[in-house]
Amino acid sequence: MGRAESLYRSAVSKPDLDYSSQLLFASLVANPGNREAFEAILGKIGAFAAAGRKMVVRAGDSAGNGAADSFIKTLAAYCAGPSAEAGIACAVEAQKVGLFGCAATLGMLALQQVESAQASLKSSGFTRLIDALDGSGAAEAAVRAARAAVQEDFRELVRAVREAPQGRREAALEVLKDGHDRFGERETLWFIREIRLERKRAELRAHRQKVEEKPDEVQLRQEYQRMRAELLREHVDHLYELVSSLPNSPERHRREMELAGKLFEAGRFEEAIKQAQAAKRRSGDRLDAWMIMAKSFVQLGLTPEAGECFESILGELNAAAGGSASIGRVLEAKYSYAEFLVQQAEKTGDLVLARQARKLCSDVMVEDIDFRGVRALSGRADKVIK
């Protein structure tokens, strides 16, 4: 024990990370119950990480055939790669030789990684963690681990349901709601909302078919408009919550664009512009954002701003020629710009605008003569020109 204490004191005074860590392990070999050396070793992991390095020690150089040598060697492996699995393996070895305090500490570190979603474990891993914590006297932590195990199983279920068809999602709604009540994860709540929104979209499609079959039924049309407005409102509210909660990531960019589109559909044009502007600033793919902004400016009667947006769209298309812009997006952009120019030409009789619109219509028809109403749109441009 005197040698262990001497090695520990020497390690504390050494600034060199590698040398001091080797001394700490030698101290632990001399006295596996040296709690100070154990805590200092764990503290070194963060110091190595801050230096951008792994903590690698030659535990085998000082360990022999003692009862605790397996624990010391697994501790060295844990220090080099402090994963939850490695921590549990080390905790099990510590428990075998009666180092219950060390086992509890290592088990708690693994549990914290799982609870903070930094790591995930299979069922067998949770079983070993619970046994290690319970066998080391950390009963409350063992209960937490058991709860985390159930929660992880639930997350696996949610992942599987996400990939399932809509019918199976509907069937899993009660299970998802029960899981949300128990664990309170907001991602589960968002998923539940999306399943319900998809159900309402299906109901809306069915109702639209009825309207198309009976176009003279005023009540059917009114009910369809009510259902559509309600669905859009719920979808927009859901997306606002998502966007405000997600970190700056590709998923957030995608959701911002989805929100901008739904706001445009709902006739909330100023909000649509704001969301599209936010997405445009954060994402490299800006064409869809420019499109929503342009159409919203048209609806607000802000024609100069709409024109600026459409010019930017053409710039984006030219820059992406032969690149990432799909033909469908290119045709949609050119058609929308032509539609805007025709509307302005019809109001003012401006031949330049009409000819620009006619050229855009020609570009669209060369690729797809039946794209939306492009032939009728080109006819309107020709009428202004003539």
85 pLDDT band, cuts 50/70/90, is very high
Are the C-beta atoms of residues 107 and 91 closer than 8 Å to each other? yes
Are the C-beta atoms of residues 151 and 111 closer than 8 Å to each other? no
CA distance 336 to 342: 10
Which pLDDT does position 60 carry in this prediction? 62
Residues in CB range of 202: below 8 A, 6 or more apart: 166
Cβ-based neighbour number of residue 290 at 10 Å: 23
Average the pLDDT over 217-240 and give the result. Answer: 96
Terminal C-alpha separation, the chain? 104
Evaluate whether residue 117 is within a structural domain: yes
Evaluate whether residue 178 is within a structural domain: no
Evaluate whether residue 221 is within a structural domain: no
Q: Does pLDDT of 325 surpass 90?
A: no
- What pLDDT, in 10s, does the model give residues 168-224? 899 899 999 998 998 898 999 999 999 999 999 999 999 999 999 999 999 999 999
The first and second tokens of residue 117, run together, are: 């979603």
CA distance 300 to 269: 7
Helix axes 186-213, 139-162, angle to 10 degrees: 20
Q: Which residue has the tokens 């080797």?
A: 22
Are the C-beta atoms of residues 340 and 298 closer than 8 Å to each other? yes
Which pLDDT does position 284 carry in this prediction? 64
- What pLDDT, in 10s, does the model give residues 133-163? 999 999 999 989 988 898 888 988 898 999 9
pLDDT, averaged across the chain: 90
319 pLDDT band, cuts 50/70/90, is confident
> Of 271, 297, 277, whose CA–CA distance to 289 is shortest?
277
Evaluate whether residue 360 is within a structural domain: no
State the residue range of the domain holding 51: 2-162
The dihedral region occupied by 184, where left means phi > 0, alpha psi between -120 and 50, and beta the remainder, is left
Evaluate whether residue 284 is within a structural domain: no
Evaluate whether residue 209 is within a structural domain: no
Q: Which amino acid is at 54?
A: K
Residues in CB range of 377: below 8 A, 6 or more apart: 335, 338, 339, 342, 357, 361
Evaluate whether residue 137 is within a structural domain: yes
Q: Does pLDDT of 71 surpass 80?
A: yes
Are the C-beta atoms of residues 34 and 4 closer than 8 Å to each other? yes
Q: CATH no. for residue 34?
A: 1.25.40
For the chain, helix (H) and strand (E) counts, in that order, are: 20, 0
Q: State pTM to two decimals.
A: 0.69
Q: Which amino acid is at 373?
A: G
Domains identified in the chain, total number: 1
Evaluate whether residue 122 is within a structural domain: yes
